[in-house]
């Protein structure tokens, strides 16, 4: 259901509700999806809210628009093609592992110029730094150093950050990780990283930089992570473009 006094925006709640109805198989692939008007009535929300929720589901590949005919439930094959933005916790859960975190550093720091650029803020503005060792079933996997910038971000430092950061941000701060840009590089770890990760200095590691945007397209997080090269696998699904139905 969609609730007005909820920290998550209405469109986001509606999108989650519709996504779970689709995933539960209420409609079959190829079925005509209820119209905007029907959804407005069923959920008591504005047309704008419905449009935004539907646009997200089209983006995710769960729905497909057919000009002049309406919105249809997409074939599941299309969904697999899209990579979804996940948190460490979700990623581990999907592999049947228990995610954990040990906090290494937690403080407000002035944004260095390079980080300020990524976060689209002025250099030297105070941002929240959270450095954590990430664990999978208790085993060290990587060190994530997140720089957060949004109004009231200093309050995040008082949260229990051994839990999922993305869950805390969505539920308590209304900041919903929606999109991200990532860069991946191969490198070797320095003595400090080696000691924390339980490997040897110079061992291969994966260096990942991520800039994460919220539901309004605002960058709120810049992360620099170092993952152990021996127990972390990046898996990406690639598909050839499907021939269009009209060609």
Name the site residues for ligand 16G (rule: CB under 6 A).
87-89, 99, 144, 146, 164-167, 208, 210, 212, 221, 223, 225
Cβ distance to ligand 16G smaller for residue 137 or 167: 167
Secondary structure, 3-state, the chain: CCCCCCCCCHHHHHHHHHHHHHHCCCCCCCCECCCHHHHHHHHCCCHHHHHHHHHHHHHHCCEEEECCCEEEECCHHHHHHCCCCCCHHHHHHHCCCCEEEEEEEEEEEECCHHHHHHHCCCCCCEEEEEEEEEEECCEEEEEEEEEECCCCHHHHHHCCCCCCHHHHHHHHHCCCCCEEEEEEEEEECCHHHHHHHCCCCCCEEEEEEEEEECCCCCEEEEEEEEEECCCCCCCCCCCCCCCCCCC
Shortest distance, CB of residue 105 to ligand 16G, whole angstroms? Answer: 14
Shortest distance, CB of residue 152 to ligand 16G, whole angstroms? Answer: 18
Cβ distance to ligand 16G smaller for residue 43 or 227: 227
Cβ distance to ligand 16G smaller for residue 29 or 229: 229
Shortest distance, CB of residue 221 to ligand 16G, whole angstroms? Answer: 6
Cβ distance to ligand 16G smaller for residue 52 or 225: 225
Residue 160: other Cβ atoms inside 10 A: 8
Shortest distance, CB of residue 150 to ligand 16G, whole angstroms? Answer: 14
Shortest distance, CB of residue 167 to ligand 16G, whole angstroms? Answer: 6
Cβ distance to ligand 16G smaller for residue 22 or 208: 208
Cβ distance to ligand 16G smaller for residue 39 or 205: 205
Shortest distance, CB of residue 84 to ligand 16G, whole angstroms? Answer: 12
């Amino acid at each position: 259901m969609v609730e007005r006094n909820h920290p998550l925006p209405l469109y986001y709640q509606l999108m989650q509700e519709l996504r779970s109805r689709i995933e539960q198989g209420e409609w079959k692939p190829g079925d005509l999806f209820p119209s905007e008007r029907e959804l407005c009535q069923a959920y008591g929300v504005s047309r704008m809210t419905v449009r935004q929720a539907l646009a997200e589901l089209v983006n995710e590949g769960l729905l497909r628009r057919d000009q002049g005919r309406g919105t249809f439930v997409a074939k599941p094959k299309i969904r697999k093609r899209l990579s979804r933005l996940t948190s460490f916790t979700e990623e581990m859960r999907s592999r049947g592992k228990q995610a954990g975190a040990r906090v290494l550093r937690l403080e407000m720091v002035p944004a260095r110029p390079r980080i300020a650029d990524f976060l689209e803020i002025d250099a030297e503005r105070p941002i929240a730094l959270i450095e954590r060792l990430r664990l999978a079933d208790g085993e060290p996997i990587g060190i994530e150093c997140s720089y957060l910038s949004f109004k009231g971000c200093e309050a995040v430092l008082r949260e229990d950050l051994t839990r999922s950061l993305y869950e805390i941000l969505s539920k308590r701060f209304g900041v919903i990780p929606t999109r991200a840009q990532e860069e991946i590089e191969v490198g070797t770890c320095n003595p400090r990283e080696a000691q924390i990760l339980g490997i040897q200095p110079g061992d291969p590691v994966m260096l990942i930089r991520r800039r994460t945007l919220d539901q309004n397209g605002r960058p709120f997080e810049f992360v620099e992570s170092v993952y152990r090269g021996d127990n972390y696998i990046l898996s990406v699904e690639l598909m050839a473009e499907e021939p269009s139905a009209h060609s």
